Structure 1
Amino acid sequence: MMDTITHTLFGAGLYKASNKERMNKKEKYALLFTAIGASQIPDSDVISQLWDTAGYYQMWHRGITHSVFLVPFWALLFYILSWIFFKVKDVKLFYTALIGVFIHDTSDVFNAWGTGYLEPFTSERLTLGTVSIIDFVIWFIFLISFIVSKTQSSLKEKAIYRTAWIVICLHIFIQSAQGYILYNQYKPGYDHVALSASFVPWHFSVIGKNGETVDIIKDSLITKPALQYRLKSSENSAALKTLFKQNPKARTLYQWSPFVVMVDTKEKLGIYDPRFYKDGESFLFEFMEKK
C-alpha cells in the first residue's frame, strides 16, 4: 500500500491544485476536509482487524473499500458530510472527493501490496509492483512545490501544484514502463514472476518461481542483474491443508499472494510471500509450530 503520509500529501496536493479564488473561508475548509478525507477513506478498512477472528484481515484490508466501483459512494459520502459539518453544498466537493478516492485506489495498484480494485466481481489482488510503497520521489516533488509556492509569489499556487501532479504522473509512468520491460524480460524463464520496486528509483526486485525454486534478483535497465537470494519451497499440498486448519491466516496469505514459499522443517510449517523477503525472512510469514 502507499503509506499514510503519501496519501495525505495527495490530498493536500489536490487541495492546493484547486481553484479557490472565489471561495470563502467556510468553503475552503470544506474543500480541505474533502480532499484530505477522501484521500484517506479507503484505508478505513484497518478497523476490520478489531473483529477479525478467522484470519481474513489480509484480504479485508485494501479489499472492497479500495474497489474502483465504490468511488462514487465515497464521493457522495463526503459531499453529504461537507453539507452537515460546514453547511456547504457545492458539486465541486463531490468531484474533488471522486478524484481523491480514485487517486488513492489507483496509486495502490502500482505497489507490491496490491488492492482489491475490482471487488466484488473478483477478490484477486491487482498489483503491478512498479512503485515503492513509500516513494520518496513523490515526497520530494511535493516538497519542491511547497518551497516554490512560498518563495515565488509571482507564481500561482494552483499552477505550481498542477505542474507537480504532471511530474508525479510522469514519474509513475517512467517507473512502470521500466518495470514492464523487466517483467517481460524475465517472464519466459519462470513459471511465475512478480515485481517489487525498490526505494531507489528505477530499481526493482524481480521474484521468479520455477517449481520449488524461487529467485530474488535485483535489477534495473541501467545496471547488471544480481541474484540476491535463491530460496527453496517445500511444495506439499497435504501439509498445506494441515497448516490452513491450524492457522487460518496462512490460507488467507496463500490466496492473497501471487505465489508463496513453503517452509517445512522439524520445528515449523509455514508459508511466506517472497516479495517481502529480506535478511533471511519475510514479514508476511504465517506458520504453525510442530509438536
Structure 2
Amino acid sequence: MDTITHTLFGLGLYKAVNKEQMSKKEKYALLFTTVGASQIPDIDVISQLWDSAGQYQMWHRGITHSVFLVPVWAFLFFIMNRFIFRIKSFRFFFIALIGVFIHDTSDIFNAWGTGYLEPFSSARLTLGTVSIVDFVIWFIFLLAFIVSKTRSTRKEYTIYRISWIVIALHIVIQSTQGYVLYEQYKNSYDEVALSARFFPWHFSVIGKNDATIDIVHDSVLSEANLVYRLQSSDKANLETLFAKNPEAKTLYQWSPFVVIVNNEERLGIYDPRFYQNGQSFLFEYIEKTQIK
C-alpha cells in the first residue's frame, strides 16, 4: 500500500484502542507506536542511498517486510517506549505487533508484492487483488471520522473497530472476485497475473502465451475488454542488458514475467502489470548505441 494508507492504518489503530484509562503520556506513546509500527517496514527506502548494484527493486519490500521480522520491529517499539516515554507495559508491544503485521500483510494484496517469507524464500508474494492506492479504504476511514465527530452516543473506539471490520470485508470481497477472475483465465494462458485497478471490483488481467501478452480489463460484473496485445522478443539475448543495466536483471528476477523490447533503438524489459498509455513505469533498458 502507499504511505498515506499505511499512515491511515496507524491512525485507525490508534483510534480503535480504548484510551479512557490512559494518561496523556500513554496516549502519546500509543500514537507513536501505532503510526511508527505502521510505517517501519518501509525504512528499506533508505537502501537507495547505497545501492550501487541495482538491487533496490528487490530490497524494497524485502526482508524488512518479512513476517518473521514482525516481533523484532514490535520489540524495538517496546524498547523505544521504555526509554522515550518511560512506559514498560507489554501492551504496547502487542499493539506494535498488530501495526507491523497489518503493514506487511496488506502489501501482499497489491501487485507490487512483498518478501513476506524472507530470508527463507526470495519469492515475492503478490495477489494483485487490491490497488496500491485504495480509495475505498480512505473513504471508510473518512466515514469513521465523520461519524465519530457527529454521533456522540457512540464510543470513538467502537466506531473505528467497526471500520476495521468493514475494511477487512472490503479486502475479502475484492480478493474473492480477483480469485474468481484468475481461475477463469488460468487455463487460457501459460502465465497469469492480476493487478487491481483504482475502481473497486475491476482488474487488469495480464496473460502470457509464448511471446504474446494480453492485458484485459475485466470484472465479475462486466464483459472482458482486451485493451492491449503486446509482443515480447523472448529470443533476444539479455546478457548485455544485464551487464550494462543491473536494474534490468533485478526487474527480470522480481517480476512474474516481463515483456522484452528489442528494436532498432533499445533493448530492454518492462513489467506489463504496470503498463498504461503505451508504456510501463517499470521499464529498464539500454540504447542500442551502448552495445558494441
TM-score of the two chains, using structure 2 as the length reference: 0.98
2:229 counterpart residue number: 230
- Secondary structure (helix, strand or coil) at the match of 2:97 reads helix
Aligned residue among 259, 267, 275 for 2:273? 275
- Secondary structure (helix, strand or coil) at the match of 1:166 reads helix
In 2, distance between residues paired with 1:91 and 1:147? Answer: 32
Q: How does 1:21-40 map to 2 (within 5 A)?
A: 21-40=20-39
One-letter amino acid matched to 1:215: D
Alpha-carbon deviation of 1:246?
1.1
TM-score of the two chains, using structure 1 as the length reference: 0.99
Q: Deviations over 1:83-124 (max 9, x none)?
A: 111111111100000000000000000000000000001111
Q: How does 1:159-178 map to 2 (within 5 A)?
A: 159-178=158-177
Alpha-carbon deviation of 1:236?
2.2
Q: How does 1:60-99 map to 2 (within 5 A)?
A: 60-99=59-98
| Count of residues in correspondence between the two structures | 289
- Secondary structure (helix, strand or coil) at the match of 1:255 reads helix
Alpha-carbon deviation of 1:240?
1.1
In 2, distance between residues paired with 1:241 and 1:102? Answer: 39
One-letter amino acid matched to 1:272: Y
Deviating above 2 A after TM superposition, structure 1's stretches of 4 or more consecutive aligned residues are none
1:57 counterpart residue number: 56
One-letter amino acid matched to 1:111: N
Identity %, equivalent residues: 72
Q: How does 1:246-261 map to 2 (within 5 A)?
A: 246-261=244-259
Structure 2 unaligned regions, length at least 5: none
One-letter amino acid matched to 1:139: W
Q: How does 1:77-156 map to 2 (within 5 A)?
A: 77-156=76-155
- Secondary structure (helix, strand or coil) at the match of 2:230 reads strand
- Secondary structure (helix, strand or coil) at the match of 1:44 reads helix
In 2, distance between residues paired with 1:280 and 1:208? Answer: 17
In 1, distance between residues paired with 2:59 and 2:75? Answer: 22
Alpha-carbon deviation of 1:263?
0.0
Structure 1 unaligned regions, length at least 5: none
In 1, distance between residues paired with 2:152 and 2:90? Answer: 30
